[in-house]
Amino acid sequence: MYATSFRPSRESCRPIRVSFEFFPPKTPEMETTLWSSIERLAPLNPSFVSVTYGAGGSTRERTHNTVSRLVRETDLKPAAHLTCVAATKAEVDDVVRAYHEAGVRHIVALRGDPAEGVGTAYSAHQGGYERSCDLVAGIKRIGDFEVSVSAYPERHPEAGSLDQDLDALKAKVDCGADRAITQFFFDNDLFFRYLDRVQSRGIDIPIIPGILPVQNFKQAANFARRTGASVPDWLAARFEGLEDDVATRKLVAAAVAAEQVLDLVDRGVTDFHFYTMNRADLVYAICHLLGLRAAPVAAEKAAA
């Protein structure tokens, strides 16, 4: 299991940097939850916050609205997700220019899931960007954007091998990617073995571990199956029998996440990207254990 004896602090280790992922809300209630979570996490001074983009561009407008509001109302640095799916190059380029006009300077460039859903065959849109590396190059041609891309410690589900997956990452780097954010994982050894293989290929951009705090084990396990991430038996055992015990489940979730991130810190990791699921409390607690403290700065630029 993970070592947990190390307790980081700003005085005893290199600075810890975090970033947070959110998804655009579908309902007024979800909107309230999202902005409550942003308000809670903003004082931790994240490096950036990303906003996801639905399959086939299904959340395009909501993603743009959320990112634009982050620019207008907060001091956070938003990163907008963008995919190649279901759009021509001209349409995607228009989205990129709209982000630039809104003040966004960071894009997370992804190929995206097939418009028909995960598990179906992917085919590039006629007249669209074929692969994520092409999208990276297109974004870089349009403006002065920082571009993040995805990385897969257990390989992308559609890749024939990890070597093929590393070829895809190398192509994205060659096209101008500035950093990679990994798919979530629960076994830290997988991440470090992946770093060794990345470095052996001469890929030298930062590889940021993506962390999914397990708020609901059944939901997380289903998500993992769809994305090709493995779920260790020990993790399933931790949550066994807690389906109807929300209070204990939250305590176990905090312990599991703390074990993982503290072990990563103990092994030299200083940057973390949290998949928040638009929920702040567990992520905030983990950041507190990492030594981060809320800055005395309001999330909003100006009071209403």
Question: Which residues are designated catalytic?
Answer: 21
Question: What is the Cα–Cα distance from 116 to 55, expressed in whole angstroms?
Answer: 8
Instruction: Give the residue among 195, 170, 198 at the shortest CA–CA distance from 268.
Output: 195
Q: Which residue has the tokens 């070592």?
A: 3
Determine how β-strand 179-182 pairs with β-strand 207-208. parallel
Give, for 87, the enclosing helix (H) or strand (E): none
Is 108 in a helix, a strand, or coil?
strand
Give, for 148, the enclosing helix (H) or strand (E): strand 146-151
- For residue 241, the Cα-to-chain-centroid distance in whole angstroms is 29
**Widest CA span in the chain:** 54
Question: What is the Cα–Cα distance from 46 to 55, expressed in whole angstroms?
Answer: 26
Using a 10 angstrom Cβ sphere, with 0-12 exposed, 13-18 middle and 19 or more buried, the burial of residue 32 is exposed
Q: Which residues are paired to 78 by β-bridges?
A: 49
Residues near 126 by Cβ (< 8 Å), separated by ≥ 6?
88
Q: Which residue has the tokens 């905030």?
A: 284
Is 189 in a helix, a strand, or coil?
helix
Q: Which residues are paired to 18 by β-bridges?
A: 272
Instruction: Give the residue among 159, 89, 83, 91 at the shortest CA–CA distance from 115.
Output: 83
